[in-house]
């Protein structure tokens, strides 16, 4: 493609926004079409945990995610500079309590794996929980895993910052119906997975509902916590996000219920500092989970000049910078750097 040619992006979630921004930054004229509002689906949630897979049993998905997390600082700084909005990004790390000697030994093995695989660009270590002050969970061993690779972004602020950056770079954002111009990238979330399943005559993925909450509590720039299957993420605006449920069967995609009440109660038990923190927002949405559990990226089979970026599921914000890079390579330059396991055909 020549510089200044049009590209249409369908979908105003994190994959669509990140791809539209990167395409515009690299010289394309971008029209992003979103049916309802920016961040209307799972990308409009509250948690914003950008956390790595464990450093063992390495595979292309984990390598792709590592590269994306490492480039996230530059990516989000560029977004803020281009559009003037803050995405709430910071690489503040994460801690996870260790329950017994077996978990400690496993964590030490993973520390050695991280030293080799992360090559000094981030650390994974076993540390005393006392290092981390009052915003730390109880640990039966007195020890936690601490990694310096995990980061956070405020999902709604990040979506708004990306939209501002796209407009500042000359892109258009259309809410509602819009005409497609040039190649088309479909980044349409869980409904898009349903459309793809119908188009291909077989399931390629499904939606998994999640519920989360925001509490008013200013924890400062401390690490996020992962404990008892909960993400507890302090944000820069004086809130703490708690999430999330994983519901395969649901009736209403955007309603909260007693499952979220139970989640909040568990979080208060894990972190007593949150005991009296008021709940200021309850959220529910449906995340797109591909059959392969990796993002679905690449050309749409049998549809010339149509492309797909979907299946972010729980790691969409962490994967977005690298997803945007490889999709821009493919659309603008015809250069295919999509890893094995990520392709549309891998989900058929």
DSSP state of 40: -
pLDDT digits (tens, 9 = 90+) for 238-275: 999 999 899 999 989 999 999 999 999 999 999 999 99
Strand-pair category, 29-34 with 172-175 = parallel
Q: What is the pTM for the complete model shown?
A: 0.95
Interhelix angle 316-328/14-25, nearest 10 degrees? 40
Q: For residues 21 and 77, give the distance between their C-alpha atoms in angstroms, rounded to a whole number.
A: 13
What mean pLDDT value characterizes the chain? 95
Q: With 0-12 CB in 10 A as exposed, 13-18 as middle and 19+ as buried, what is 258?
A: exposed
Name the percent of the chain lying above pLDDT 90.
Answer: 90
pLDDT digits (tens, 9 = 90+) for 108-150: 999 999 999 999 999 999 999 999 999 999 999 999 999 999 9
Could you tell me the CA-to-CA distances from 313 to 26, 54, 246, 317 in Å, in that order?
27, 17, 10, 9
- Of 62, 100, 15, the residue nearest 294 (C-alpha): 62
pLDDT at 304 over 80: yes
Q: Which domains does the chain have, with CATH numbers?
A: 6-89+150-205+291-347 (3.50.50.60), 94-148 (no CATH), 206-286 (3.30.9.10)
Give mean pLDDT, residues 91-99: 97
pLDDT digits (tens, 9 = 90+) for 31-80: 999 999 999 988 999 999 999 999 999 998 899 999 999 999 999 999 99
Which of 73-77, 176-180, 213-217 comes out lowest in average pLDDT?
176-180
């Amino acid at each position: 493609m020549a510089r200044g040619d049009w590209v249409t992006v369908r979908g105003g979630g994190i994959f669509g926004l990140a791809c539209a921004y990167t395409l515009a930054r690299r010289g394309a004229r971008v029209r992003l079409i979103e049916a309802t509002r920016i961040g209307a689906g799972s990308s409009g949630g509250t948690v914003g945990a950008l956390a790595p897979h464990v450093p063992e049993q390495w595979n292309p998905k984990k390598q792709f995610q590592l590269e994306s997390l490492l480039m996230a600082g530059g990516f989000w700084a560029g977004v803020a500079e281009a559009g003037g909005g803050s995405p709430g990004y910071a690489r503040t790390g994460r801690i996870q309590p260790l329950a017994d000697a077996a978990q400690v030994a496993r964590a030490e093995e993973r520390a050695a794996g991280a030293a080799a695989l992360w090559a000094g660009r981030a650390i994974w270590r076993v540390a005393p929980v006392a290092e981390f002050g009052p915003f730390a969970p109880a640990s039966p061993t007195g020890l936690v895993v601490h990694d310096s690779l995990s980061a956070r972004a405020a999902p709604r602020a990040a979506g708004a910052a990306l939209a501002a950056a796209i407009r500042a770079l000359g892109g258009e954002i259309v809410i509602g119906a819009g005409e497609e111009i040039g190649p088309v990238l479909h980044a349409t979330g869980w409904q898009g997975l349903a459309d793809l399943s119908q188009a291909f005559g077989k399931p390629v993925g499904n939606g998994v509902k999640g519920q989360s909450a925001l509490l008013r509590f200013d924890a400062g720039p401390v690490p996020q916590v992962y404990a008892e299957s909960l993400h507890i993420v302090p944000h820069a605006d004086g809130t703490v996000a708690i999430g999330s449920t994983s519901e395969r069967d649901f009736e209403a995609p955007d309603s909260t219920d007693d499952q979220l009440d139970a989640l909040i109660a568990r979080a208060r038990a894990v972190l007593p500092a949150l005991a009296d923190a008021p709940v200021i927002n309850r959220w529910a949405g449906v995340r797109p989970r591909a059959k392969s559990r990796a993002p679905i990226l690449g050309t749409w089979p049998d549809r010339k000049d149509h492309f797909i970026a979907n299946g972010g599921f729980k790691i969409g914000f962490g994967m977005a910078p690298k997803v945007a890079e490889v999709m821009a390579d493919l659309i603008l330059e015809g250069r295919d750097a999509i890893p094995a396991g990520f392709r549309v055909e891998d989900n058929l």
